[in-house]
Chain A
């Protein structure tokens, strides 16, 4: 498709032809001149400053940008702005038409359906569309109606609950009082409405990308296309010549100590001399518009000397492998060891020794809010950065050192976080923003695309876990050995702490007399890995629980019974030799087993001609979504008048 990539002068300089758009937005006629490549989401958010609907992916996948155009719900990131010429647009911002929250929004509030809130504008719009179309929509129709909307926090159940509640209140089968707060004296065992929910279900709350300041500049970043390369030359001449480019920064512009990290100081705010992963920031541009900044980034020339890169943690540890950081011998970032008892003796004492290797994959957090930030100078010279950082105090300390200024001249404000899951603990862009704000003395905003978020941010560590477990015939574990090698990627980020957690929690809540754990975090030229929900425990415990199932199979035991035999009890000693006085693990497992209706026995019995499990899909389990509910014969409609009138009551 390269023949299509002919750049006109407009594209080279980031100034595109303008187009006049006249439309009715939230009941008000607007007529604005905007760049002709604007999509509906750009028109609404950037031009009209209606920031209720968010942009989560820019590719039609996530649904948070959903808006009505002439009564039809569309994804505004896939709608060229010209398509709304003369049309009527409805966004989340004024869905209630100044009558307070709609019934649906109140139901979301009541049901605790908003967590980070970033997907909620789209969820509310999609649910509104579903109930406008059919005020008695079935559960399946509701699920189908929300099918194009992704939520990363709540798990959907509360959202679906809210839509069902709203449907019932709207069609009169439940009283309006059902939307009110539960009358309860305590908190435990009762649902309490979240304080921030009204702002989130209406789209009123401001995330970093929703903020706007007068005189604000827009940042774009040139990122490394190479996993490992020496930066020979950076030529920004052409970029500097583009009108509207206010500042171009590289690591050479950093005034202080450009070396930081969550756990180890091994990172510059932009690549210094070498790039160590694909997606590492190299040059940042601040310009009058994002278009100009993007054009400037395209015109920067960088000469790289591409170096042989390391893509495997095992290769990286080999003697003679390239050293990615001079302080880390054999590229080992962190080696956590746990030694308890005598593992060799424990294995010798076992009736059965089971060995297996497990491999987990790198995982992206995919919080619905891509990274974004806004930096500006206060009147007293203090530089302030607003961003959804999960670690503002540490960021502030690091940034003060990087900028070479006293701590009281650096301020970090945590903007509403649209999902983080650990992925926003690393300082990926705040340094560039602060530096550009100081240099230009103007506010600077930077909003990642979803693709940038994917390539630049830390991932969950992929870990290879070599497992050896010894067991007695009755199921008692005599010894556990776990050798774990984690690919930490180009920079340490949270790797040392993640290695500790994966080691400490890895062998599981079981009383094991002999334990040997090695958790090794290794530098490679892959995307850095850092904090993610469960912080390393997920990987090692996955291996442990998978391994126990395998052992149960070999022992001919029920996997629950195997765990019951081994669970820690009162007075147990943990793998790190902490003495526990009370342990409720067996009670906890018993409660789960009884709630799940567990069908005891050896796993995988069907293959041997035995009776199939009877505990799958039983009462209380969630049925899968069935599409096409709307194609079944129409249900009896409840006379509720115009759906629109009802939704806005």
Chain B
């Protein structure tokens, strides 16, 4: 059971930062969907904190807007907004595709994108799509009484399972990512079931075709749950850029992913799934982007 001396709902970011500064052991909470299950028997057990600082309603952590080809999105944006916010649906359809695989309807209404990134689970389902859209995160802290912000790429923010570059008294305020309305998007995930399940393998793919609609102008693939941190398949992306995709070449591209599996368990299974996921996601992202490529008839095996 999670207990605490105070539950604070500050009105401004400055108040929230001040609370983190002044109360030793205070902890930030947003959706609470990971915090409450953590403080139960079998995990952390009974936990007593000095304070919880609820940042979910701070204006500084909200809003979704578009400027110069980049989307700005508050860290307290819920995963449900990935599916329902008109701007996100239009400008970053890969987010909606990943959101439908994220937990379930109820949790998506509560869970925030900032929380999912700060948790830094190797299997966090929002991470591949955000990596593929070149997301930067902005963190705010208090220095001599005034708010200081710093921005860093998501690829550098998460450094290991549950580990990020966030300092204990920092609050993630905003995310900034590429608006990619013209990219075909796909998301793949497998776990023991469809809803409320931790990914065994997850993956986001984005592909943009050239004007003729035949060559890949831009390809981005990011994978999760197969290693300590999610990552981009830069070699596959380089191979595909400027490439005219065929069934055989997509298979070739997919095979390149096989050595990426660095998980602690079930490596053989993950290798087989990952390679087939890359291939299937590329086929479906291309289809979403307007080019039908037939998938090679037999799945590849990597047992």
Query: What is A's interface to B at a CB cutoff of 8 Å?
Result: 1, 3-8, 10-11, 16-17, 19, 36-37, 39, 58-61, 63, 66, 72-75, 77-80, 82-83, 85, 126, 129-130, 144-145, 147-149, 294, 298, 449, 451-452, 625, 627-628, 630-631
Which A residues are in CB contact (< 8 Å) with B4? 36-37
| Bound complex: CA A80 to CA B32 (Å) | 7
| Bound complex: CA A3 to CA B31 (Å) | 23
Which B residues are in CB contact (< 8 Å) with A3? 25
Within 8 A of A (CB), among B17-42: 25, 27, 29, 31-33, 36-37, 40-42
- Partner pick for B110 among A17, A74, A126, A625, CB 8 A cutoff: A74
Q: Are A148 and B97 in contact (CB under 8 A)?
A: no
Q: Are A75 and B110 in contact (CB under 8 A)?
A: yes
Q: Smallest Cβ distance from A496 to chain B, in angstroms?
A: 31
| Bound complex: CA A471 to CA B195 (Å) | 45
B144 in the interface, Cβ–Cβ < 8 Å? Answer: no
Query: What is B's interface to A at a CB cutoff of 8 Å?
Result: 1-7, 9, 25, 27, 29, 31-33, 36-37, 40-42, 44-50, 52, 54, 56, 80, 83, 93, 96-97, 100-101, 103-107, 109-110, 194-196
Q: Are B110 and A129 in contact (CB under 8 A)?
A: no
- Other than the known A36-B7, A147-B195, A628-B97, what 9 A-B pairs have Cβ atoms closer than 8 Å? A16-B3, A39-B36, A60-B107, A61-B196, A78-B33, A80-B29, A147-B194, A149-B104, A451-B42
Q: Are B48 and A77 in contact (CB under 8 A)?
A: no
Q: Are A631 and B36 in contact (CB under 8 A)?
A: no
| Bound complex: CA A66 to CA B196 (Å) | 14
Q: Are B40 and A148 in contact (CB under 8 A)?
A: no
Which A residues are in CB contact (< 8 Å) with B48? 4-8, 10-11
| Bound complex: CA A108 to CA B48 (Å) | 42
The 8 closest A-B pairs by CB, nearest first: A148-B104, A147-B195, A59-B37, A451-B41, A628-B100, A11-B48, A37-B3, A72-B109
Known interface pairs A4-B25, A4-B49, A294-B1; A79-B42 also in contact (CB < 8 Å) = no
Q: Are B105 and A129 in contact (CB under 8 A)?
A: yes
Q: Are B46 and A298 in contact (CB under 8 A)?
A: yes
Q: Are B1 and A148 in contact (CB under 8 A)?
A: no
Which A residues are in CB contact (< 8 Å) with B3? 10-11, 16, 37
Known interface pairs A129-B105, A631-B100; A83-B56 also in contact (CB < 8 Å) = yes
In the complex, residue of chain B having the shortest beta-carbon distance to the beta carbon of A450: B40
Q: Smallest Cβ distance from B262 to chain A, in angstroms?
A: 25
| Bound complex: CA A422 to CA B48 (Å) | 37
Q: Are B194 and A627 in contact (CB under 8 A)?
A: yes
Q: Are A126 and B44 in contact (CB under 8 A)?
A: no
Q: Smallest Cβ distance from A72 to chain B, in angstroms?
A: 4
Which B residues are in CB contact (< 8 Å) with A72? 80, 109
Which B residues are in CB contact (< 8 Å) with A80? 7, 29, 32, 36, 52, 54
Which A residues are in CB contact (< 8 Å) with B56? 83
| Bound complex: CA A630 to CA B96 (Å) | 10
Q: Are B107 and A625 in contact (CB under 8 A)?
A: no
Q: Are B100 and A144 in contact (CB under 8 A)?
A: yes
- Partner pick for B6 among A36, A63, A145, A449, CB 8 A cutoff: A36
In the complex, residue of chain A having the shortest beta-carbon distance to the beta carbon of B98: A628
Which B residues are in CB contact (< 8 Å) with A298? 46
Q: Are A78 and B110 in contact (CB under 8 A)?
A: yes
Known interface pairs A6-B48, A11-B48, A147-B196; A37-B2 also in contact (CB < 8 Å) = yes
Q: Smallest Cβ distance from A60 to chain B, in angstroms?
A: 6
Q: Are A59 and B100 in contact (CB under 8 A)?
A: no
A sample of 18 inter-chain contacts (CB < 8 A) reads A4-B44, A5-B47, A5-B48, A8-B5, A8-B48, A10-B5, A16-B3, A60-B107, A60-B196, A74-B109, A74-B110, A78-B32, A82-B54, A83-B32, A83-B54, A148-B196, A627-B194, A630-B100
In the complex, residue of chain B having the shortest beta-carbon distance to the beta carbon of A295: B46
Q: Smallest Cβ distance from B171 to chain A, in angstroms?
A: 18
| Bound complex: CA A77 to CA B107 (Å) | 11
Q: Are A78 and B37 in contact (CB under 8 A)?
A: yes
Q: Are A144 and B32 in contact (CB under 8 A)?
A: no
| Bound complex: CA A16 to CA B52 (Å) | 14
| Bound complex: CA A8 to CA B47 (Å) | 11
Which A residues are in CB contact (< 8 Å) with B42? 451
- Partner pick for B107 among A4, A10, A75, A449, CB 8 A cutoff: A75
Most buried by A among B56, B80, B195: B195
Q: Are A6 and B25 in contact (CB under 8 A)?
A: yes
Q: Are A449 and B37 in contact (CB under 8 A)?
A: no
Q: Smallest Cβ distance from B201 to chain A, in angstroms?
A: 15
Known interface pairs A74-B110, A78-B32; A126-B105 also in contact (CB < 8 Å) = yes
Which B residues are in CB contact (< 8 Å) with A19? 7
Q: Are A148 and B54 in contact (CB under 8 A)?
A: no
Q: Smallest Cβ distance from A442 to chain B, in angstroms?
A: 24
Which A residues are in CB contact (< 8 Å) with B1? 37, 294
| Bound complex: CA A294 to CA B40 (Å) | 13
| Bound complex: CA A4 to CA B5 (Å) | 13
| Bound complex: CA A7 to CA B7 (Å) | 16
Q: Are B6 and A17 in contact (CB under 8 A)?
A: yes
Q: Are B195 and A294 in contact (CB under 8 A)?
A: no
Known interface pairs A60-B107, A73-B105; A82-B100 also in contact (CB < 8 Å) = no
- Partner pick for A148 among B5, B32, B107, CB 8 A cutoff: B107
Q: Smallest Cβ distance from A126 to chain B, in angstroms?
A: 7
Q: Are A1 and B110 in contact (CB under 8 A)?
A: no
Which A residues are in CB contact (< 8 Å) with B110? 74-75, 78-79
| Bound complex: CA A130 to CA B96 (Å) | 17
- Partner pick for B106 among A6, A74, A449, A451, CB 8 A cutoff: A74
| Bound complex: CA A321 to CA B40 (Å) | 36
Q: Are B36 and A82 in contact (CB under 8 A)?
A: no
Q: Are B106 and A63 in contact (CB under 8 A)?
A: yes
- Partner pick for A58 among B9, B33, B40, B195, CB 8 A cutoff: B40
